[in-house]
Amino acid sequence: MDPEISNASDKTSMLRMAHEPQFLEIELLDSTAPVENKAGVSSPARKAGGPRTPKGKERSKNNSLKHGLFSKAVLLKDEPRDEYESMLNGLRDHLQPVGTLEILLVERLATQFWRQRRLLIAEGAEIQKSREFVAWDEERRDEAIAEVFLDCSIGHGLGLMSEIANPMLLQWCLDQLEDLRANIKLSGFEPERDEEILTEVYGPYFKGSSRKSLLKSYLMLFIGESSPDEMFGPQDDPSLDNSANEFLRELEAEIERLNRYKATESERRKLLALSRSVPDAMQMDRLLRYGTSLDREMDRTLKQLERLQRMRRGQPLPPSIDVNVSSEE
């Protein structure tokens, strides 16, 4: 047979088979047709084409936007990504952006809100630094001063009472005087013990000094230079002599005075701490300028988004207002 005639016959036969039903059935067995595997289980006839109802499409339209485009740039290493994503998704649900530009504007708005959150955290940190760490530094300084004065109070000449603005020295003086009161009530005057305590608290007594102190009163009462004997008062201890009772009255008045001073000083320090609830002038100015800049950016982004959405819906656009303020005449 002629080779050309044979080739033509083969081609005609192949075309005839291609149009036969059983051949078409074989051709359709591609990735979209059910195929039985060796175990005899059929695979899906076709891949899912996604939601087809309006409700399903609305629910899944932002599936590809699970993470914001700007999130990697705006988030610091220690900031919670889930909080940022939650805020971004909330803005998307509320503002319902359509199209790439609206979506990007919503994401920009999310980054601006996140920066505002960071600003509030920074402001709180400034206040905490002033209130807690400054107070901590003051306590350490008071401790250092107290140690110095406790080591050389006698040589200081004025005693620890001259430094009662230091709360630790004030408390030490109160403790010493309360111990002295308890000892006198228990066993009366003991000059060596009593004078040592009073000298450390008030400083040494110099004859002829006009400075009033419990040490001076103690010495006058002890050597009998007090006023004439009187009857015991209602607060006196009958087991003690009149001089000891008179000194105890002065001692208790002094303890009461120091406790009032302590309460006043404590209240003053609390008010001082509250006054630090605002950052100092330099930090406040920096925070305010940054906050004002963020407010302007957010307002501008919202206006841009509103105009785009109005244009998309065919709604009239609000008039554009451009205000230029100049101080030149």
Q: What is the DSSP string of 196-231?
A: HHHHHHH----TT-----HHHHHHHHHTT-SSPP--
Q: What is the pLDDT of residue 68?
A: 59
Share of the chain above pLDDT 90, in %: 29
Q: What is the pLDDT of residue 278?
A: 81
Token couple for 167: 């709360």
**CB within 8 A of 126, min separation 6: which ones?**
279, 283, 287
Q: What is the pLDDT of residue 234?
A: 42
CA distance 117 to 325: 30
Point out the least confidently predicted range of 37-46, 93-102, 223-232, 312-321: 223-232
Query: C-alpha dihedral over 305, 307, 310, 316, to 10 degrees?
Result: 160
Looking at mean pLDDT, say which of 48-52, 62-66, 296-300 comes out highest.
296-300
Q: CA triplet 23, 29, 31: central angle to 5 degrees?
A: 155
pLDDT, one tens digit per residue, over 156-212 is 567 888 888 889 889 999 999 999 999 988 888 888 888 888 988 888 877 666 667
Q: What is the pLDDT of residue 140?
A: 82
Point out the least confidently predicted range of 8-12, 76-80, 104-108, 202-206: 8-12
Q: What is the pLDDT of residue 233?
A: 41
pTM for the full model?
A: 0.52
Mean pLDDT of 56-79: 64
The letter for the amino acid at 15 is L
**CB within 8 A of 307, min separation 6: which ones?**
317, 318
pLDDT, one tens digit per residue, over 124-142 is 888 888 777 777 778 888 8
**Nearest alpha-carbon partner for 177 in 149, 164, 236:** 164
Q: Say if residue 294 is exposed, middle or buried (CB neighbours under 10 Å; 0-12, 13-18, 19+).
A: middle
**Nearest alpha-carbon partner for 279 in 134, 154, 142, 123:** 123
Share of the chain above pLDDT 70, in %: 66
Point out the least confidently predicted range of 87-96, 175-184, 202-211, 281-290: 202-211
Mean pLDDT of 270-298: 87
Residue 277 confidence (pLDDT) above 60: yes
**Nearest alpha-carbon partner for 276 in 98, 130, 75:** 130
Residue 75 sits at φ, ψ, to 5 deg, of -85, 135
Q: Between residues 96 and 130, which one has the greater pLDDT?
A: 96
